[in-house]
Structure 1
């Protein structure tokens, strides 16, 4: 793994750290490529139950590195498109990961950094962090991150924030839905550990199934076809090995076999 990304695995938890603090973890070709590669390794590792996305330095992610954006702006049409697809592919990989992904937001995030938070399942941030979607102030658009930002905060809030580019603090970010919890800096790791402990209690296959379910059900109108589809999914997972183990363990008043031994 390169110096700009650090990866570790311990106790069922894979940690992926953006390690470009001198550039406030701004995204460029190398950081995007290496982050995607590391994420795929963690997602494919059977020893990993939960993935934590984190950063080193005072900022979580300052968005796109402007030197990278300047280089990309001079590429021809297809090369420019191919370059833009790299970030889109990274975000898609995180969004469709079957394992729970937790964002540990130790500092401010702007532009693509907000997108990186939005694509995670759970986000915990520190008081004092600032956020903004400032692309329009550079004459560009928050395009590749838009599906995830809209899913996190809704179209109405997103429209305002992407048009104005205004900053908002961590408590407003929680109110918008970007962050789930806001804590003091000295409580960040404890809160992330609490979330991890809760996630490790869930069945891995059930967690993968429910992530798929939410993606498929979100925005769908209520119909007989939809209710039948959800009933079919319940029937399938209830009859699975993991489903039977979970129900049996509950009735026998013991922990199911996927819960880590203390």
Structure 2
């Protein structure tokens, strides 16, 4: 089923699963290798803001049409930017930063289905997703330095996903690296031999998400973002104790534990 609330021109948005619990957002500009421009950035921001507000939603798959997942900046967009003032460049980069933050902070887990090459800002797009599945033929490249630029706006997310030491290399060399290397470094969670295997792995991950408590999944995603790289202070210890107390005392938490103890099925599996 297609979402009735969204009508983007550069993306395709579809809903499936029980009660529309799964959304699939597909970059749909294969003729330009799904490159970014102002419209793509604005539509990704609007779509993920809307999806993040939908309490029925339990998983999002971010995919792309064509041979490439995302080639970074659109050439026509880059030509326009070449004449921008500092203020115009700042405002433009701010819109990209807001888009990346919207995807990263979306309360629903996002799975990236990477079927082809990923360049520059596309690596940032992959990095804000929670789970990344890629074909073995896909390649990655932080190519900004080749153009005399730097991956500044995507940087915080890429460093978190790729790791500091690997980022020190690939930011400055702008070398292409394989999906297998991305997997070794932790950017890619699962590798697939071909498109069929890619879909099978994505479907299995979606099924795993749907098997878990909806509120628990959202709370788990938020927990990782909130505690990563945070000092282990008394404040943090108390915060985590409060979080588990909150969910144990919730209707979902009580139902889940009771179903486990009685060997029954909770409502989200019914």
- TM-score w.r.t. length of structure 2: 0.93
Contact 1:150 1:158 in 2 (8 A): yes
RMSD: 1.2
Give matches, 1:213-224, under 5 Å: 213-224=223-234
Contact 1:14 1:48 in 2 (8 A): yes
Task: Give the one of 160, 163, 167 matched to 1:154.
Answer: 163
In 1: Cα distance, 2:83 partner to 2:248 partner: 54
In 2: Cα distance, 1:180 partner to 1:121 partner: 9
Residue 224 of structure 1, CA deviation: 2.3
Give matches, 1:142-181, under 5 Å: 142-181=151-190
Contact 1:73 1:80 in 2 (8 A): no
In 2: Cα distance, 1:226 partner to 1:31 partner: 38
In 1: Cα distance, 2:177 partner to 2:228 partner: 27
In 1: Cα distance, 2:136 partner to 2:54 partner: 33
Task: Give the one of 28, 49, 70 matched to 1:19.
Answer: 28
In 1: Cα distance, 2:243 partner to 2:55 partner: 23
| Corresponding residue of 1:225 | 235
Aligned residues: 260
Structure 1 gap ranges (5+)? none
1:194 and 2:204 matched: yes
SS at match of 1:258: helix
Residue 209 of structure 1, CA deviation: 1.4
In the TM superposition, structure 1's runs of 4+ consecutive aligned residues that sit over 3 Å from their partners are none
Residue 141 of structure 1, CA deviation: 0.8
Q: Deviations over 1:4-33 (max 9, x none)?
A: 110010111100000000000011111111
SS at match of 1:128: coil
| Corresponding residue of 2:82 | 73
Task: Give the one of 132, 153, 160 matched to 1:123.
Answer: 132
Contact 2:48 2:106 in 1 (8 A): no
Structure 2 gap ranges (5+)? 1-6
| Corresponding residue of 1:134 | 143
Contact 2:192 2:198 in 1 (8 A): yes
Q: Deviations over 1:44-77 (max 9, x none)?
A: 2233210000000000000111321231232223
